[in-house]
Structure formats: structure tokens, C-alpha cells
């Protein structure tokens, strides 16, 4: 690739260039973008002042063009430019001096947010940006991205689950736990793209991980334990959709596998494995996705929660609505067979920078795995770093 300043030298008479001298604006444009003001001045003066400044010999400029070191070459051009500038200062009414004064320096390009998906979300679908389904949202493989919500809240429940080992152990064999109704709950969740543009279809394969903990930090009587922690790895294929359904614009379809467990031994062990399908769509500022799942069966001897689908559900519908900088979301889980399931409502709002306030309401079954068959209503207040969108 030719060096820009060398192109200037090539355009001067006597150096094998064109007889016509390029305009000052044409020559200045590539240089102001690099914020090299002295180089810009040199470019303009060398090209446009040539007829009025014959004191500079063509061999001088050619010698500068042959310098291989960037800094030394710029210094060489600077020496010529400053000499021409002195000559122009003695001729303020010359056409070149008037032209240079009339052309203000171009503004440097504005800085862009470092996250391409964040930039793309301004002009493309939020769901497409979330799953990097377009060329302008693709951020490559193996980088960490937020997956689900990342938050910390103070939570109060109306019914602490003091007998989480039921129905596996008879009520008389173990004393009730002495749990507080208030605790701290936090979740962190991330994903990484394993494969991009699979089979040239625009689809991606992702690996996700979510961990959620419930901490009885205020309960000094039982040594402030972590009451329950759930671990949830998943792998999923996500492909773009371009159709519509009524007023909904279909954005993606997904298939995957998810494992969830609490990593505990009997009688408090809880786990299940599922395969799922998911489809996402948008209607203006409203995003929706629906995920039904099928539980992979376990043997009766190894199954710690064989009726979990009859409480937690067999699928979920999530809706997210953005109003300005406020985000409202609702997640509904259903068994499709009875009235159990859950309702989960959220509101997040700006506080400072990327930190947002967070209000969370849950009512139903399965707020955590240990509570899969325990109905309760809880309210939480805290902060959130990344939301659903």
C-alpha cells in the first residue's frame, strides 16, 4: 500500500506525477483522521503551494519520500512545510493562504462503544444482537458475554422452607430448619460462542453457565449458611429467523440441552436434565421468547425429584419491554396440566453508569431447586449489572 505522504510527492511536477495539483481538502482528509496536524499542513503546503514556492526543489521532496522510518520521514516533510509556511505568511492575500484559512480542520471521528453488539442493538433487533445473528453484531468465538441476569438483591419471603427434605424423609425423623424469612440472593450468568455461522446458515452454537445462590447472611443462629446454590450449564444451537406471525417479527429458533443441580447429597440432592426448543420474536419494543422442554427420564432409584415438572413446569414464556432506560420483564412457567407453576416479574432502572436498580417479585413453585415443591411469594430489591436484554 502506498504511503499517503509519498502520494503527495508523486503528485508534484517533476516527480513523475500528474500536472494537476490535488485540492487541499482532498489531501487533508486522510490526515486529520489520524490527528497528525503537522503532517496535514505539510500535505497541503507541499501539494498546493508548489507553484508559489519554487524555493523547494523536487529532489528535496523525493528524498523525503525515500525515507523508510516513519518518524524521520515526517520530520523531513515538516522541515519543507515550515519553510513554505514562512513564505506564505509573507503573502497573506495569496489564493493558497486564503484557501487554507477558509478550510477549518475536520472533526475527528467520534469514539464508539467497544461492544459491537451494543452498537448494533441501536439499529438492529435486540434479540439478534443478544445472539449475534447478523454480521454487524458478530463478536467472534470464545469471548465471554452476559447470558441471563447478573444481580444481587435483598429478599424477603412469606414462607421459608424449613422442611426441604420432604417428602423423602418422614416428618418426625429430622427437626425443622430455623431459616430467616429474609436473605441475600445473587446470580451470575455468562455464555461464550463455541462455533459461528454453522454450515454457512448464520447460526451459532453457544455454551452457557448460570449460578444462583441464596444466603442466610442475617441468620447468625445457624452460622449464616448458604441455604441453596444451583448450578446450570447448558449448550444450545441458535439460528436466525426472518418470518413474521401476525405483527410479531420472528428473530430466532434454538435447540439445546440444560443440566441443573444443587450439588448436594441425599436427602437434599436435587437435579434434572432437559432438552428444549425456543423461539424468539419482537413487536416494537416488546421482545418475547417461548421455551418448552422435555425432561430426560432417570431411574426411580436415582431420581430425587421425580415430580418436579408437575410443580416447576414444562415450559416458560418470557416477555421483556423496554421503555426508555427502564426494562420490565415477566416470566410465566406452566405445567400445562394443573394450576401450578410460577410468575416472576422484574423492573430494572438506571442508577450510575452500567449499574442499575433492580426490583424482583416471585410467586409460585421452584424459586430454587430445593424449593421445587414449595409455594412461596418473595420480593427482592437490589442492583443488577446485566438484564435479560
For the stretch 268-287, pLDDT in tens is 889 999 999 999 999 999 99
Question: CB within 8 A of 212, min separation 6: which ones?
Answer: 185, 186, 187, 229, 230, 232, 368
Number of domains composing the chain: 2
Measured CA to CA in angstroms, residue 81 lies from 33, 37, 84, 314 at distances of 19, 12, 5, 75
Model-level pTM? 0.68
**Cα separation, 50 vs 12, whole angstroms:** 8
**Cα separation, 266 vs 271, whole angstroms:** 11
- 93 lies in the same domain as 126: no
Which one has a higher pLDDT value, 62 or 329?
Answer: 329
Final residue before a domain boundary, out of 67, 102, 137: 102
- 52 lies in the same domain as 196: no
User: Which residue in 259, 323, 342, 344 is the catalytic one?
Assistant: 259
- 168 lies in the same domain as 92: no
Q: Which residues pair with 230 in a beta bridge?
A: 212
Final residue before a domain boundary, out of 102, 132, 161: 102
Which one has a higher pLDDT value, 358 or 106?
Answer: 358
Q: Residue 18 is part of which domain span?
A: 4-102
- Feature table: binding site for Ca(2+): 223, 264, 269, 304
State the pLDDT at residue 49.
Answer: 45
Active site residue 203: no
Chain centroid offset of residue 137 CA: 9
Band of pLDDT at residue 58, cut at 50, 70 and 90? low
Whether residue 53 is predicted with pLDDT greater than 70 in this model: the reply is no
- 74 lies in the same domain as 155: no
DSSP 118-184: HHHTTTS-HHHHHHT-SGGG---SS-EEE-S-EEEEEEEESS--S-TTTTTS-TTTSPPP---SEEE
Band of pLDDT at residue 69, cut at 50, 70 and 90? low
State the pLDDT at residue 73.
Answer: 74
State the pLDDT at residue 160.
Answer: 94
Assigned C-alpha cell, 198: 454453522
**Cα separation, 27 vs 41, whole angstroms:** 10
314 near 336, Cβ under 8 Å? yes
Specify the residue for cell string 441475600: 184
- 336 lies in the same domain as 285: yes
Active site residue 259: yes
State the pLDDT at residue 300.
Answer: 86
The tens digit of pLDDT for each residue in 293-346 reads 999 999 888 888 999 999 999 999 999 999 999 999 999 999 999 999 999 999
User: Which residue in 261, 265, 271, 354 is the catalytic one?
Assistant: 261
- 222 lies in the same domain as 341: yes
- Feature table: binding site: 223, 264, 269, 304
Amino acid at each position: 500500500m502506498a504511503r499517503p505522504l509519498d502520494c503527495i510527492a508523486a503528485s508534484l511536477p517533476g516527480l513523475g506525477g500528474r500536472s494537476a495539483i490535488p485540492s487541499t481538502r482532498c489531501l487533508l482528509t486522510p490526515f486529520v483522521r489520524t490527528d497528525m496536524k503537522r503532517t496535514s499542513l505539510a500535505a497541503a503546503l507541499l501539494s498546493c503551494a508548489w507553484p508559489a514556492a519554487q524555493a523547494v526543489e523536487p529532489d528535496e521532496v523525493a528524498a523525503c519520500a525515500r525515507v523508510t522510518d516513519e518518524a524521520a520521514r515526517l520530520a523531513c516533510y515538516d522541515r519543507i512545510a515550515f519553510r513554505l509556511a514562512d513564505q506564505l505568511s509573507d503573502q497573506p492575500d495569496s489564493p493558497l493562504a486564503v484557501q487554507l484559512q477558509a478550510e477549518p480542520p475536520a472533526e475527528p471521528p467520534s469514539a464508539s462503544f467497544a461492544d459491537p453488539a451494543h452498537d448494533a442493538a441501536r439499529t438492529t433487533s435486540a434479540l439478534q444482537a443478544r445472539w449475534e445473528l447478523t454480521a454487524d453484531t458478530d463478536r467472534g468465538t470464545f469471548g465471554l458475554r452476559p447470558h441471563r441476569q447478573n444481580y444481587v438483591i435483598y429478599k424477603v419471603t412469606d414462607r421459608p422452607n424449613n422442611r426441604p427434605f420432604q417428602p423423602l424423609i418422614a416428618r418426625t425423623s429430622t427437626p425443622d430448619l430455623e431459616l430467616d424469612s429474609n436473605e441475600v440472593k445473587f446470580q451470575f450468568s455468562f455464555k461464550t460462542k463455541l462455533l459461528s455461522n454453522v454450515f454457512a446458515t448464520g447460526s451459532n452454537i453457544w455454551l452457557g453457565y448460570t449460578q444462583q445462590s441464596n444466603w442466610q447472611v442475617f441468620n447468625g443462629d445457624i452460622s449464616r449458611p448458604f441455604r441453596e446454590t444451583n448450578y446450570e450449564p447448558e449448550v444450545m444451537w441458535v439460528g436466525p429467523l426472518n418470518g413474521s406471525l401476525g405483527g410479531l417479527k420472528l428473530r430466532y429458533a434454538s435447540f439445546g440441552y440444560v443440566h441443573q443441580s444443587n450439588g448436594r447429597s441425599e436427602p437434599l440432592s436435587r437435579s434434572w436434565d432437559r432438552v428444549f426448543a425456543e423461539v424468539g420474536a419482537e413487536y416494537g419494543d416488546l421482545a418475547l421468547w417461548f421455551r418448552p422442554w422435555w425432561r430426560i427420564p432417570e431411574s426411580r432409584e436415582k431420581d430425587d425429584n421425580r415430580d418436579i415438572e408437575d410443580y416447576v413446569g414444562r415450559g416458560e414464556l418470557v416477555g421483556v419491554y423496554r421503555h426508555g432506560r427502564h426494562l420490565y420483564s415477566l416470566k410465566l412457567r406452566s405445567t400445562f396440566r394443573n394450576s401450578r407453576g410460577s410468575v416472576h416479574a422484574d423492573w430494572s432502572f438506571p442508577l450510575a453508569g452500567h449499574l442499575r436498580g433492580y426490583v424482583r417479585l416471585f410467586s409460585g413453585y421452584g424459586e430454587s431447586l430445593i424449593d421445587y415443591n414449595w409455594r412461596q411469594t418473595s420480593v427482592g430489591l437490589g442492583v443488577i449489572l446485566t438484564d435479560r436484554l
